[in-house]
Structure 1
Amino acid sequence: MSFDSRRAGVPPRWAALVAGVVLGVTGTAQAAAGAPAPTADPAVTRAALDPALVTGRGAAVAFHEQEAEHATTTGTVIGPERTAYTLPSEASGRSAVTLAPGEYVEFTLPRAANAITVRYSIPDAPGGGGITAPLTVSTRHATRTMTLTSQYSWLYNQYPFTNDPQADLLHPDWWITECGCVPAATEPAPVITKPFRPTHFYDEQRLHLGRTYRAGDTIRLTARSVPTTIDLLDSELVGLPKVDLTAVNVLLFGADPTGRRDSAPAIDKAVAYAKKTHRKVYLPPGVFQVNRHILVDDVTITGAGNWYTTIKGREVALDEPAPDGSVHTGVGFYGKSAADGGSRNVHLADFAIQGDVRERIDTDQVNGIGGAMSDSTVRGLHIQHTKVGLWFDGPMSNVRVTDNIIVDQIADGLNFHTGVTGSLVRNNFVRNTGDDALAMWSEKTANSGNTFDRNTIQTPTLANGIAIYGGTDTTVSNNLIADPIREGSALHAGTRFGAEPFTGYLRFTDNTTVRAGTYELNWKIGLGAIWLFALERSIDADVQVTGDHFLDNTYNAIMLVADWPVKDLYSIDRVKFKDIRVDGTGTSVVSARAGGSASFENVDARNVGAVGVNNCGRFRFTPEGSEFSLTDLGGNDGGWLGPYVPNTITCDDRPPVVPPPAPSGW
């Protein structure tokens, strides 16, 4: 494959570097023989939906999503399926294509593109740890090989999971659904099928094609050595690398753009010099090896673009545990800890961070971005294979996290933890997290005045798309959340994990969820696409849910629930639902399993699978009715609410599920 730097407009001094950053290619390009004829009108989706259904919601991204199950293929379409621990359940849209060696799936480009992202799954090694396998990428002009890996996927067993498919139960003293028992206390001991609860099947890889292909050209992906499941293809037209000749270039301090030598000391020196001279730091095209944290404070670091500049590192075992409990370190950009005053005026933009995290160890600080960073921005990054993409430990204030891509995390995508205030997360794309995709956790000190706005979240394999744990004056708006898998759902607010109480207001406004309302493994019930959970105290702040669309809900659209041991202690009070659309529920529009109250105005529902309101209250079943009351403020179309106000008991603990039809225009 050749790269003409003069025609691309790249300055000559960067030509050699840029040529080495046509990412993900192995082997030698050759002319593609027998390229298939272009297909008309390729299907483009957003979260596997018709884009018209989510106009104005979610992140505006540079790429176009195409689902494999809608493409031309000689393989086998799997799904749709929403049962956890299955390949289709973790796929976008709950369906994908599995290719045997020699089979292909072929996508027709909807727009001009010179780069693709392939989301895929290949088998694990028999003993765990992953394998690699080739995938042939054929275009009109060339055939290339992507080397796929399962080293960052395939987790098993109980939280916090293991890489060993043959491991015995990590917690034999926990109650488990599979036997309806506590195995350590059960005679005879139950037989637990291995591998137990396989999950986190998918990974993704990006490939720069080296030239621009036009709309109507095809991209054929062919499996070569192992069964290969293709979920989707994202295609985009990547611009030229960014150059900043006024900034401090890390190459001048000995950074190695080939990735062979450790560049962390050189980057540290460049940062120190830039601070002295009041200049930015520039990371040119290349792959820079960094195996520890880069400490940042009062500095701006920019790359050539996240397709061109990659900071890549190994996970490194520490000789002894760090004071914070970490037993590993790895690549990451960290502000100073809040205990040391935190960092300020940090600006990170336009590069990729690739980690090497393959197991979940909650004490490890192996996140892409960490520490405390007030008055700071994080923009245009691509973060993959770290534990958490961005984990901020406050107190800190005024951070802006915008226009990033966060994928394939073993835990959260982003977490505002402890005393984060006045901060914004907007226009980020988050896919395949191993825990909450976006979270605010008010542990010890309340978060306040924060907003999650216009983000797209797909396929969190555990927990929630967006989770708010306590805090004051919080807004969650204009987000698109799709396909949560298990033990969580799309939108969540809970008094959990030692969080400070909800005070002031909490707003869920103009969000769209799809194929949410998952199965809660421990309770053995279906959740809601949005669910409010009183576990450690009541929820009695000003909670308003306005303008949200809940589409194709696996179980309920809305759930209000208190944990059974505290159901008589805590309640969920005065929640306001207004201008809501519910299109399809497997069970009910509202499931109430707590004491408290809610009002409903202009909440329209259709394709409801069970009783409109499944009202169990506190399960006392009093002659006066349920302990949860509903107020009809008018305009609630679809007949789902009227018969059940103010507090009619309609409790069915586990109602049968009626799969809803696909959502359509209202």
Structure 2
Amino acid sequence: MPISMRRPAVLAVAVLSAAALLPSPAVAAPTTTPVTRAGLDPALVAGRGASVNFLEQEAENAKTTGTVIGPSREAYTLPAEASGRSAVRLTPGQYVEFTLPKAANAITVRYSIPDSATGGGLTAPLAVKAGSVSRSMTLTSQYSYLYNQYPFTNDPNADLLHPDWWITECACVPAATTPAPEITKPFRPFHFYDEQRLLLGRTVAAGEKVRLTASSAVPWTVIDLLDSEQVGLPYVNLIAANVLAFGADPTGKRDSAPAIDKAIAFAKKTKLKVYIPPGVYQVNRHIVVDNVTIEGAGNWYTTIKGREVALSTPAPDGSVHTGVGFYGKDAADGGSRNVHLSGFAIQGDVRERIDTDQVNGVGGAMSDSSVKGLYIQHTKVGLWFDGPMTGTRIENNIVVDQIADALNFHTGVTNSVARNNFVRNSGDDGLAMWAEKTTNAGNTFDRNTVQTPVLANGIAIYGGKDITVSNNLVADPIREGSALHAGSRFGAEPFTGTLRFVDNTTVRAGTFELNWKIGLGAIWIYALDKSIDADIQVTGDHYLDSTYNAIMMVSEWSVKDLYSIPNVHFKDLRIDGTGTSVLSARVAGGASFENVDARNVGAVGVNNCGKFGFPATGSEFTVTDRGGNDGGWLAPWLLPNTITCDDRPPVVAPPAPSPW
């Protein structure tokens, strides 16, 4: 969701909630820990999402002396934010043990440990035994744990940040309620997980064990998953402006920003690339880039790491902090062109959400540019582009553990592509396009994986012209969002031309909307600021194990008589499992359906409320049957606009997805 525009919503609807299962004792795991993608058998998501170098193994499928927690989809809980909605809880001395599916020399552990009593986090070691290799990781919760209402706080003991907002917990406005309600603290805890990467120092053979053992430094350690991979040798460029020659410190003890600036200036004069060899380089501000190529030795070897620094006076853009980041020039100053960044990690120090701060991993305006092969962690937004800009490619990056979005094409970004990126644990939308003030046009999000966005949506499109969202895999959105979202919201320019959702797969999506207190859809189309009358084509998508609806089309209650969504077309979809309906329509307009096959549907196939006028002539939302719709969900008696509105359909958890 756009990071400066969150606001409460009001809709006169009733409560639905998914049941949370209690922790269950660990059971014996198979001798080989299964490899999964987004917590599923990879065959179920073949051809969708990013192609990555690592293999994912879920802790709940591994051998353990700990306790499996979940599955649960109840927000503010550890299982809900875990990949696949389950994890393993270890007490001191307990372990979880994975069997490597392939030879590996590097691992990534996704985990959670407790916050400190006053906020700010704790640290604890984690013993790692990989084959004959013994190592230790230092886990931290310093970048986890947010609480309370938007824009959230690190303080678990804080009172309501907005006592004048309506909240679901008391169904009231606390500041206007006598007596004032007691609010349980910590209030709305979330963003529990973080991850650590570790080079093992040698290759551990396939079939060897990786055992993770919890320490006594904290009362519990939760392990969500293990990623393992074989990392190649560092990339070397001998014909480049090497930052070491300009005084950069690869130990991270001294500030390397001036040396990198000098290397960039030299490279531009001599028409060379900039090379940053293996090491950790301290950078505590923006590196401004224009007409330059910067290459690292690979994101496992070259790390640009910085502290967040408070500014003595706010910057003109409202920032009160700065931090590590590579920024194109501001669009008002002409922006940057021909910038190419690749092969390094950016690790920030952002622990709170301040929307005016420019503390993103990559930012500014960059036309005719590329960002490839980066690993970005602990910044506010991984990549936030403020256009106008055009012709930029964002490819093969890993963006994790963000306070807000992983990537946002904001304001006048055109003819640009984000492809084959892997996103996990974003604090807001995973991938977003926000056409604020100036329209976005001709952009594509293709073959990306987005897992466990803890707030808002996996992929969100806010206005724009001729946008394509294709071949993506989106799993486990947690709260107030969907896997796929199109919204006329946040002052975005209208949708025009064609908006295409093509061959995407969603898993365990369709979350509980906190303010409305209803369940959303795996795909959610929302008319808030204006009607959405562009041509929306949804073709070839698979919606698996949707918590509530597979599809939701809705308008805000206060504008339900003003706006509509009349021109949406669904074709060649597979829907396997919904807690409630295939389609929930809460808006005027209509949609057509062709070759939409559905099974394991928890409630009536079409929950048609229209705009809640309930005229004698039928719903204000029209369903058009174009044939080939199997599974009985689109029964003849429902067409074209039969009112079947049920504000409280019971949630029926579907069986696990299976081959079609």
TM-score by length of 2: 0.95
State the distance in 2 between where 1:216 and 1:70 align.
15
Pick from 133, 136, 146: which aligns with 1:145?
A: 136
Pick from 499, 504, 507: which aligns with 2:500?
A: 507
State the distance in 1 between where 2:431 and 2:134 align.
38
Q: Name the counterpart of 1:478.
A: 471
State the distance in 2 between where 1:196 and 1:644 align.
43
Q: Name the counterpart of 1:640.
A: 633
SS in 2 for 1:275: helix
8 Å CA contact 1:99, 1:228 repeated in 2 = yes
1:123 counterpart = 2:117: no
Pick from 333, 343, 351: which aligns with 1:358?
A: 351
Deviation at 1:140, TM superposition (A): 2.2
8 Å CA contact 2:30, 2:62 repeated in 1 = no
1:523 counterpart = 2:516: yes
State the distance in 2 between where 1:136 and 1:339 align.
51
State the distance in 1 between where 2:656 and 2:274 align.
49
State the distance in 2 between where 1:406 and 1:88 align.
22
State the distance in 1 between where 2:638 and 2:384 align.
43
Pick from 74, 95, 110: which aligns with 1:104?
A: 95
Amino acid at match of 2:83: S
Deviation at 1:41, TM superposition (A): 3.4
SS in 2 for 1:348: strand
Q: Name the counterpart of 1:390.
A: 383
Q: How is 1:151-230 mapped onto 2 (pairs within 5 angstroms)?
A: 151-225=142-216, 226=218, 227-230=220-223
Which range moved further: 91-100 or 635-644? 635-644
State the distance in 2 between where 1:111 and 1:141 align.
16
Cα offsets for 1:281-327 (capped at 9, x unmatched): 00000000000000000000000000000000000000010000000
Distance 1:629 1:290, change over 3 A: same
Deviation at 1:42, TM superposition (A): 2.6
Alignment coverage as a number of residue pairs: 629
Amino acid at match of 1:310: T
SS in 1 for 2:426: coil
8 Å CA contact 1:39, 1:108 repeated in 2 = no
8 Å CA contact 1:135, 1:147 repeated in 2 = yes
8 Å CA contact 1:263, 1:289 repeated in 2 = yes
SS in 2 for 1:98: strand
State the distance in 2 between where 1:394 and 1:654 align.
43
Pick from 88, 91, 96: which aligns with 2:82?
A: 91
Q: Name the counterpart of 2:34.
A: 43
State the distance in 1 between where 2:59 and 2:460 align.
30
Q: Name the counterpart of 1:564.
A: 557
State the distance in 1 between where 2:548 and 2:31 align.
37
8 Å CA contact 1:248, 1:282 repeated in 2 = yes
Q: Name the counterpart of 2:588.
A: 595
Q: How is 1:188-587 mapped onto 2 (pairs within 5 angstroms)?
A: 188-225=179-216, 226=218, 227-587=220-580
Cα offsets for 1:41-67 (capped at 9, x unmatched): 330000001100111100000000000
State the distance in 2 between where 1:350 and 1:144 align.
25
8 Å CA contact 1:40, 1:216 repeated in 2 = no
Deviation at 1:40, TM superposition (A): 4.2
8 Å CA contact 2:30, 2:63 repeated in 1 = no
Amino acid at match of 1:122: I
Amino acid at match of 1:600: F
SS in 1 for 2:572: strand
State the distance in 1 between where 2:379 and 2:547 align.
30
> Bigger relative contact order, structure 1 or 2, given CA contacts below 8 A and separation 6+?
2
Deviation at 1:186, TM superposition (A): 0.5
SS in 2 for 1:388: coil
Amino acid at match of 1:49: L
Deviation at 1:446, TM superposition (A): 0.1
Pick from 647, 652, 659: which aligns with 1:658?
A: 652
TM-score by length of 1: 0.94
Deviation at 1:644, TM superposition (A): 1.2
Q: Name the counterpart of 1:609.
A: 602
State the distance in 2 between where 1:648 and 1:123 align.
51
Amino acid at match of 2:295: T
Amino acid at match of 1:159: Y
Q: How is 1:62-101 mapped onto 2 (pairs within 5 angstroms)?
A: 62-101=53-92
8 Å CA contact 2:411, 2:435 repeated in 1 = yes
Deviation at 1:645, TM superposition (A): 1.1
- Identity value in percent: 79
Q: Name the counterpart of 1:25.
A: none
SS in 2 for 1:626: coil
Deviation at 1:194, TM superposition (A): 0.2
Distance 1:39 1:216, change over 3 A: farther
SS in 1 for 2:445: strand
State the distance in 2 between where 1:408 and 1:114 align.
23
State the distance in 1 between where 2:655 and 2:306 align.
45
State the distance in 2 between where 1:197 and 1:540 align.
36
SS in 2 for 1:357: coil
Amino acid at match of 1:171: H
Amino acid at match of 2:329: K
Give ranges in structure 2 of 5+ residues lacking alignment: 1-28
Give ranges in structure 1 of 5+ residues lacking alignment: 1-37
Amino acid at match of 2:288: L
State the distance in 2 between where 1:389 and 1:140 align.
34
Deviation at 1:139, TM superposition (A): 2.1
State the distance in 1 between where 2:153 and 2:403 align.
12
Deviation at 1:39, TM superposition (A): 7.0
Deviation at 1:655, TM superposition (A): 1.1
Amino acid at match of 1:543: I
Runs (4+) of structure 1 exceeding 3 A deviation are 38-41
State the distance in 2 between where 1:242 and 1:463 align.
37
SS in 1 for 2:595: strand
Amino acid at match of 2:574: R
Amino acid at match of 2:79: P
Amino acid at match of 1:118: V
8 Å CA contact 2:108, 2:198 repeated in 1 = yes
State the distance in 2 between where 1:416 and 1:239 align.
32
State the distance in 1 between where 2:556 and 2:612 align.
12
8 Å CA contact 1:581, 1:604 repeated in 2 = yes
Pick from 12, 34, 58: which aligns with 2:49?
A: 58
SS in 2 for 1:430: strand
SS in 2 for 1:252: helix
SS in 1 for 2:245: helix
8 Å CA contact 1:39, 1:216 repeated in 2 = no
SS in 2 for 1:448: coil
Cα offsets for 1:478-511 (capped at 9, x unmatched): 0000000000010000000000000000000000
